[in-house]
């Protein structure tokens, strides 16, 4: 099977996930499938698209033993990768500020630039007062919930790069002491690690506060609520640092 790479099946992340599942089912001898068969002593594998917002798994691999392997799938063209996008951990005080903002502007017919700037300022102030210790705990919980394997579709080089989630353990650790540093965008902060000797290291992680459906939906029946997003900056650098990568070209 030739994996589509001209953008025809990549209008969103769901299509990317489905395409990879099809690729894996029709290429049983690709490197990652061979690794899974060897590791789990399985003669046959069946991939299934999972997806959905209630699970971190985008796909599962069924084994003949009736067990299954959880897989996370990412699409990388340029920019960042998302590790987390959740409404959990958003405090009641943050929700209240958004409701007050909504009420204040509910009489307006259209969203204008002044409103957007005001909302950005609110998010910036929220990040300035964010519980960084809580971030360490949240990342640690995320690590334990994450699927065992992560596949990144590196579209630029037409390849799938697969690695074990343990490559995240050094960053997603409750013992880490994080600090925030300002970024260009008011709605995000760079996450830096502060070591015991006082040195500071850029984790290339970023925290962002945003509305899940955007500002316009806040004033419609659809609605919009504040979310916390954890992103990976410098994705190519991060992937290069991962150990035991499995690469399949398409």
Residue 76 scores a pLDDT above 80: yes
Q: Determine the pLDDT at residue 56.
A: 78
pLDDT number for residue 246:
98
Q: What is the pLDDT of residue 9?
A: 38
For residue 8, the 8-state DSSP code is T
How many residues does this entry show for the chain? 250
Report pLDDT for 11. Answer: 46
Task: Estimate the share of the chain in helix, then strand, then coil, as percent rounded to the nearest 5.
Answer: 35, 30, 40
Q: Which of the residue ranges 9-13, 111-115, 189-193 would you say has the lowest mean pLDDT?
A: 9-13
Least trusted range by pLDDT, from 47-61, 142-156, 224-238: 47-61
CA distances to 55, 116, 208, 249 from 182, rounded to whole Å, are 31, 19, 11, 38
pLDDT at 1 over 90: no
Residue partners of 21: CB distance under 8 A and separation at least 6: 47, 48, 49, 59
| pLDDT band per the 50, 70, 90 thresholds, residue 12 | low
Report whether pLDDT(5) > 50. no
Question: Cα separations (Å) of 243 from 33, 39, 205, 240?
Answer: 18, 17, 18, 8
* Mean pLDDT across 154-159: 94
List of long-range contacts for 237-243, beta carbons under 8 Å, 24+ apart = 237/204, 238/81, 238/204, 239/152, 239/154, 239/161, 239/163, 241/167, 242/161, 242/163, 242/167, 243/163, 243/167
pLDDT band at 53 (very low <50, low <70, confident <90, very high): low
* pLDDT averaged over every residue in the chain: 91
Percent of the chain residues past pLDDT 90, beyond the cut: 85
DSSP code of residue 102: H
* More confident position, 188 or 3: 188
Other CB atoms within a 10 A radius of the CB of residue 11 amount to 9
- Count Cβ atoms within 10 A of the Cβ of residue 66 and give its class: 0-12 exposed, 13-18 middle, 19 or more buried: exposed
Which residue, among 242, 117, 230, 116, has the nearest Cα to 180 in the 3D structure?
230
Q: Residue 201: what pLDDT? A: 95
Average pLDDT over residues 90-115: 95
Average pLDDT over residues 64-88: 93
Phi, psi at 60, each rounded to 5°? -130, 150
Here the contacts of 131-134 (C-beta below 8 Å, separation 24 or greater) are 132/178, 132/179, 132/180, 134/89
Taking residues 199-214, report their average pLDDT: 96
List of residues 6+ apart from 129 with CB closer than 8 A: none
């Amino acid at each position: 099977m030739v994996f589509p790479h001209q953008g025809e099946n990549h209008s969103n992340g769901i299509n990317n996930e489905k395409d990879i599942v099809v690729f894996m089912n029709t290429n049983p001898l690709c490197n990652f499938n061979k690794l899974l068969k060897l590791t789990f002593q399985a003669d046959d594998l069946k991939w299934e698209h999972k997806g959905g917002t209630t699970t971190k798994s985008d796909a599962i691999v069924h084994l003949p033993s009736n067990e299954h392997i959880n897989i996370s799938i990412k699409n990388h063209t340029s920019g960042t990768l998302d590790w987390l996008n959740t409404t959990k951990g958003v405090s009641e005080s943050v929700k209240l500020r958004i409701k007050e903002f909504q009420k204040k502007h509910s009489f307006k017919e259209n969203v204008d630039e002044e409103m957007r700037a005001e909302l950005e300022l609110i998010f910036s102030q929220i990040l300035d007062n964010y519980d960084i210790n809580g971030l360490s705990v949240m990342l640690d919980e995320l690590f334990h919930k994450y699927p065992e394997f992560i596949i990144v579709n590196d579209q630029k080089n037409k390849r799938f790069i697969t690695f074990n989630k343990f490559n995240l353990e050094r960053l997603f650790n409750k013992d880490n002491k994080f600090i925030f540093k300002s970024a260009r965008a008011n709605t995000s902060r760079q996450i830096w690690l502060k070591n015991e000797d006082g040195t500071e290291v850029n984790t290339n992680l970023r925290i962002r506060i945003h509305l899940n459906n955007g500002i316009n939906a806040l004033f419609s029946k659809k609605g919009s609520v504040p979310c916390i997003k954890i992103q990976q900056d410098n994705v190519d650098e991060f992937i290069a640092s991962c150990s035991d990568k499995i690469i399949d070209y398409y």
